[in-house]
Structure 1
Amino acid sequence: MDLMLTLVSGIAWTVVYVEAIRVGLRDRTYAMPVAALALNFAWEATYAVLEFREGLSPQGVVNVVWATADVVIVWTYLRFGRAGLPGFVTRPLFAGWSALLFTTGFAVQWLFLAHFGMHDATRYSAFLQNLLMSGLFVAMYAARQGPQGQSLTIGVAKWLGTLAPTLLFGVIEDAPFILGLGILCSLFDLAYIGLLLRGPGGPVRSLPAPSR
């Protein structure tokens, strides 16, 4: 059961990342809220290295796949992200802000590691940032006034990809804190799916290219 839920989570989140790359390139934008992207990339890169230092494992392989996909999503943010910002955000300002954001993502992950140790840090940081991401997807839909750079596939796969480890760690391993966070993630994910199902139809327009 543990292996099955790990694989479900791995496959579902891989679908999220592949679809985020596809939609981001299609709409010339980034398809994951950037604060959550920074934390996710830092989590996956950090634990991919740590998992493989302890030996080959299914989760380690999954982390490498996720981190590799995240590199491409980060590129879509760096390539298209400035287009959605106010005109006073120059290239140097955007670069500096981005560097600070992604550096902070790694710092947060390493602080979790230092305080909780690897076993608890992987779970606590993952579910907390997952809850943040769930809320930010709803906020991104509102900010973009529709499904620009988003898709129902991302919403459903994210929900299933989070539900599987919620069952694994929250129910099977009897961790009430993780279970509570997982339930909250599901509530936001289902709300996001509802927005995508009931939102405005029609073709999605690309964001304008950033001015030089």
Structure 2
Amino acid sequence: MDLFLTALSGIAWTIVYIQAIRLGFKYKTYAMPIAALGLNIAWEWTYAVHDLAVDPGVQAWVNLTWALADVFILVTFFRYGRHELPGFISRPLFIAWGVAIIVTSFLIQWLFIAEFGMAGNKAAAYSAFLQNLLMSGLFIAMFVARRGPRGQSLLIAVAKWIGTLAPTILIGFLANSVFVIGTGLLCSVFDLAYIGLLLWAKRNPGRFPVDAVHSTTPSESLKSA
């Protein structure tokens, strides 16, 4: 059961990352909120490097796969993310802001390790589920900020939900962690709400402006005006 749930989570999250990369380059945007992406990068690179050096099991290779995928999602953010912000945000300021989020994310991750240590699973589990809960809320916020489903995908939403539910069962229910059960179930609440939003948007495309459904850069918007 442990191997099945670990593999299920790994496959589901890999689908999330592949789809995020595909949508990012296709629609010239980024498909994962930067705060969540920064925390993912910090967690996955930290534990990929550590686990491959100490205990190169299935999860270590899964973490490495995710960490490498993060790099491509980050490329879409730095390449296209400036268009999502107001005009007074200069490109140097945008880049500095993105770098600051990445650096801060690593510091937060290392603070969890300083508090709980690498031994056991608390630092990894607690930080993973907290950032997962943040991501669940940020996906909904991204839908609202973009006034619709532009650069988003039902496949990402469903795979993210399954990818989080599997370790909630494994680490929460089977390993009896109240913290993981609580945060994992809260993730499911937000994930299902996000899935509902995307289904509603799919059934009611006329409720959203064209640019809230299909991504365009500012220059493309001017050309079509």
Distance 1:206 1:177 in 2: 38
Is the contact between residue 39 and residue 102 of structure 1 (CA under 8 Å) also seen in structure 2? yes
Quote the residue 2:39 is aligned against.
39
Residue 171 of structure 2 corresponds to which residue in structure 1?
169
What does 1:117-132 align with in structure 2 at a 5 Å threshold? 117-118=117-118, 119-132=121-134
Q: Percent identity?
A: 59
Cα distance in 2 for residues equivalent to 1:29 and 1:207:
8
Question: Aligned residue pairs: how many?
Answer: 211
Counterpart for residue 81 of structure 1 = 81
Asked whether the equivalents of residues 23 and 151 of structure 2 are also in contact (C-alpha less than 8 Å), the reply is yes
TM-score computed with the length of structure 1 as normaliser = 0.96
Q: CA deviation at 1:201?
A: 2.5
Determine the structure 2 residue equivalent to 1:193: 195
Look up the match of 1:153: 155
RMSD, aligned CA = 1.4
Unaligned runs of 5+ in 2: 220-225
Larger radius of gyration: 2
Between the aligned partners of 2:142 and 2:167, the Cα distance in structure 1 is: 25
Aligned residue identity for 2:124: T
TM-score, normalised by the number of residues in structure 2: 0.91
Segment drifting more, 177-186 vs 110-119? 110-119
Q: Which residue of 2 aligns with 1:29?
A: 29
Q: Per-residue CA shift, 1:132-183, capped at 9, x if unaligned?
A: 0000000100111111110000000000000000000110000011000000
Distance 1:56 1:37 in 2: 24
**Residue equivalent to 2:96:** 96
**Unpaired stretches in structure 1, ≥5 consecutive residues:** none
Which one scores higher on RCO, CA 8 angstroms, separation ≥ 6?
Answer: 1
In 2, are the aligned partners of 1:84 and 1:207 still within 8 Å (CA)? Answer: no
User: Which one is further off, 19-28 or 121-130?
Assistant: 19-28
Q: CA deviation at 1:205?
A: 2.0
